[in-house]
Amino acid sequence: MQARQMAHPENILDKLIKITIEKLGVKEDEVKANSSFVEDFGADSLDTVQMVAAIEEAFGIEIEDEKVESMVTVEKAVEVIEELLKEKA
């Protein structure tokens, strides 16, 4: 049986940036670690639901509501995704 490879943080960030660009219509150079999905990109509740669904699908994880609430910046979202991937491994 082959060991599962963990996603590297850069790969997580790259995927998250792609999802952010696709779902929120922002430019790649606008996406920074400390960017706020709501304040900087204008995400509303529907955008948040779509982002979470895309993240769950891209990484094969399920994100509980309490964790979604903590994902206010790109950096925090990466941290939550990393944590959930570690728990899944």
DSSP for 15-52? HHHHHHHHHH---GGG--TT-BTTTTT---HHHHHHHH
Mean pLDDT of the chain: 90
Dist. CA 23–CA 54, nearest whole Å: 8
Is it the case that residue 86 has pLDDT exceeding 50?
yes
CA 33 remoteness from chain centre: 11
Is it the case that residue 5 has pLDDT exceeding 80?
no
> pLDDT value at position 88?
85
pTM above 0.85, yes or no: yes
Is it the case that residue 6 has pLDDT exceeding 80?
no
Dist. CA 54–CA 56, nearest whole Å: 5
Is it the case that residue 2 has pLDDT exceeding 80?
no
What are residue 36's phi and psi, to 5 degrees?
-90, 130
Please give the average per-residue pLDDT across 61-80, as a whole number.
96
Instruction: Tell me which of 29, 40, 44, 65 is the catalytic residue.
Output: 44
CATH of 9-88, one of 1.10.1200.10, 2.40.50.100, 1.20.120.1780, 3.40.50.460: 1.10.1200.10
Q: Which tens digit of pLDDT belongs to each residue from 29-41?
A: 999 999 999 999 9
Q: Is 44 a catalytic residue?
A: yes
